[in-house]
Amino acid sequence: MKIGEQDWNLTQAAPHIWRGHLEAGALPAIAQAVKDEGGQLVALWGSDDRHLSGGYALHVAFITANGLAWVSAALMEDPSYPDLTAIFPQADRMQRATFDLLGIRADGAVDQRKWLRHGAWPADSYPLRRDFAAPVVRELDAYPFIRVEGEGVHEIPVGPIHAGTIEPGHFRFSIIGDRTLKLEQRLGYTHQGVEKRFEGLDLDHGTKLAGRVSGDSHSAFAWAYCMAVEQATGSVVPQRAVWLRALFLEIERIANHLGDLGYMGNDVALSFGFMQFWRLKEDWLRVSAKLFGHRYLFDRIVPGGVAADLDAAGKGELAAAADRIEAEVRELKAVYDEHATLQDRFANTGIVKPAMAARLGLTGLAGRGSAQAWDARAQFPQAPYEQLDVNMATQRKGDVLARAEVRFAEVYESLRLIREIIKRLPTGALHAPLAAVSGGCEGLGWVEGWRGEVLVALRIGADGTLDRVHPHDPSWQNWPLVEVSVLGNIVPDFPLINKSFNLSYSGQDL
């Protein structure tokens, strides 16, 4: 596979997914080639491979003109690699987390502060190393926030414990008057050792854990995990199951967009919008529970297929629900469009300009609101999306209003896709046994979740259990852009701006 003028000796592992190995010193060159072609870095993670090769490895996934390129570099006993943040700034937090968990160092990185560790384990302990033993002594937590000083500058610390039932995260505002001069985030409070927990699990239990990395993206993570398992084992999934997976993913996308459109109305004091969108979301979740046995479709996607079907009566009920939801959403959009206060608060608030979005790797629905035209369903479609002709929704202004417009358009498109899937749902089996594992193997799954691209890379050991799993949520790329979007905005607009992104804490804290 060529990127730029060079052939990087990558081989196709699956439709739109390429795999290769190279020297650590070549990482900046391939990263620059991807950047020059207009691509982006999607994920960066490490692994302790001493039980296999005597060393460690760094893995990087890039999105390119030809699809996803997954490259790995073997590292020595004292593991290090060249810093990539000068090319792709979104690598910063991923690099810092990789050091905290594995001791793999990014040489030349400007920011080498800890990221996930907090005070939970000593600096010389690395939980994802095979010889890790849970330490008894914890270090004091003294995180060096970047201070802004000067006449009239004040700090407002928010969190990590919040007033609502949301996950913990710390936001430190530097303000002049009521305007935000700087925002610095500190996350990692929901770190639960998820990647460590994958080690040694059988493939079925791994599915359950993958689907719970970020609960509001259950179908996306479960499908990406199963895709990786099926790729690694060379297993074939029945066509009916593949189409049902897409149905579940679109149902999940609609549920999240409905809830967030309501929350965004609530954050500008339009309680009517909040109540109406959440009524619609509740109706939608009840349909999911009735037809598939779970409001959020947990454990409906399994290795080799799916665990729920849709009969003729269910098709009719789902189609009727889709028609009803669309009619009401269109009415509510007219309310939002004509509500002067809402439009005043949404427009020109929380702007991420297209050039900044491209520079920092903004992705998913937030990226599409800033003219970043990436949607794996449309550009690099996995089955059955190659037969569905997905229409990608984009906006250019990059403000709260643009992100709301993308959400409305994606609700309509997902409802259209659901009707198309119902109409074209093939007959056949729901599940096929996985092929036997005869030796170590690896795979990668890549799904366009409702926030953006969800990636799961894994290695299965010769005994058939999971050896290493890395789940990646698009919130990794997008959290730093929240810091950018609030600059110059009044502090009371932060909840609205934050909700317009609605990023995951647990999805990146792992």
Q: Does 418 share its domain with 361?
A: yes
Looking at per-residue pLDDT, the higher value among 139 and 378 belongs to: 378
The answer to whether the beta carbons of residues 256 and 450 sit under 8 Å apart is yes
Question: Are 489 and 387 in the same domain?
Answer: no
C-beta separation of 96 from 38 below 8 A: no
- pLDDT, average across residues 72-90: 94
Does residue 114 lie within any of the structural domains?
A: no
Give mean pLDDT, residues 489-503.
95
pLDDT of residue 466: 97
Do 299 and 365 fall within a single domain?
Answer: yes
- The answer, yes or no, to whether residue 451 has pLDDT greater than 80, is yes
One-letter amino acid at 178 equals D
Q: Same domain for 482 and 427?
A: no
Number of domains present in the structure of the chain: 3
In this structure, are 265 and 394 located in the same domain?
A: yes
Report how far residue 139's alpha carbon sits from residue 120's, in angstroms, rounded to the nearest whole number. Answer: 7
Domain boundary among 89, 107, 125: 107
- With beta carbons less than 8 A apart as the criterion, state whether 102 and 56 touch: yes
Question: Which CATH number does the domain housing residue 24 bear?
Answer: 3.30.460.80
Instruction: Categorize the per-residue pLDDT at 428 as very low, low, confident or very high, splitting at 50, 70 and 90.
Output: very high
Q: Is the pLDDT of residue 2 over 90?
A: no
Q: Is residue 425 part of a domain?
A: yes
Is residue 361 in some structural domain? yes
- Work out the mean pLDDT of the chain and round it to a whole number: 95
Read off the pLDDT of each residue in 246-272 and give the average, rounded to a whole number: 97
Q: How confident is residue 221, by pLDDT bands cut at 50, 70 and 90?
A: very high
Record the tokens describing residue 96, joined without a space. Answer: 């810092």
Q: The domain that contains 361 carries what CATH number?
A: 1.10.645.10
* Amino acid residing at 273: G
Co-location of 421 and 310 in the same domain: yes
- Spatial separation of the C-alpha atoms in residues 107 and 229, rounded to whole Å: 33
Least confident of 93-97, 157-161, 379-383, 473-477: 157-161
As a whole number, mean pLDDT of residues 22-41 equals 96
Asked if residue 400 and residue 297 are part of one domain, the reply reads yes
Q: Do 363 and 243 sit in the same domain of this protein? A: yes
How does pLDDT run across 399-410, given as a tens digit for each residue? 999 999 999 999
Contact 486, 170 (CB under 8 A): no
Specify if 291 maps to a domain. Answer: yes
Hey, what's the torsion of the CAs at 48, 21, 10, 238, to 10 degrees?
-20
Here the tokens at position 231 are 């790729």
The band of 240, judged by pLDDT with boundaries at 50, 70 and 90, is very high
User: Which of 107, 124, 145 represents a domain boundary (last residue)?
Assistant: 107
Strands of 40-49's sheet in order across:
11-14, 17-21, 67-75, 55-64, 40-49
For residue 136, is pLDDT > 80? no
- Classified as helix, coil or strand, 71 is strand
Same domain, 369 and 258: yes
Q: Cα separation of 99 and 427, whole Å?
A: 48
Average pLDDT, integer, range 33-58: 94
Same domain? For 268 and 360 the reply is yes
Residue 86 covered by a domain: yes
Is residue 419 included in any domain, yes or no?
Answer: yes
49 to 75, 100, 206: CA distances (angstroms): 9, 17, 20
d(CA 409, CA 406): 5
Other CB atoms within a 10 A radius of the CB of residue 11 amount to 8
SS3 assignment, position 194: helix
Output the pLDDT for position 291. Answer: 98
> Helices (H), strands (E): how many in the chain?
16, 17
Average pLDDT over residues 116-130: 90
**Is 220 within 8 Å of 447 (Cβ atoms)?**
yes
- Residue 187 is predicted with a pLDDT of 96
- Select from 374, 401, 433 the last residue of a domain: 433
- Residue 345 clears pLDDT 90, i.e. is over it: yes
Count Cα atoms within 13 angstroms, Cβ side, for 382: 26
Residues 384-423 have pLDDT tens digits of 999 999 999 999 999 999 999 999 999 999 999 999 999 9
Q: For residues 263 and 409, state if they share a domain.
A: yes
pLDDT band at 467 (very low <50, low <70, confident <90, very high): very high
Structural domain of 361: 236-433
**162 is a domain residue:** yes
Whether pLDDT at 164 is above 80: no
Q: Same domain, yes or no, for 507 and 381? A: no
Q: Residue 438 above 90 pLDDT? A: no
d(CA 66, CA 508): 26
- 458 pLDDT band, cuts 50/70/90, is very high
Task: Give me the pLDDT at residue 135, please.
Answer: 74
| Residue 310 maps to a domain | yes
**% residues pLDDT > 90 (the chain):** 89
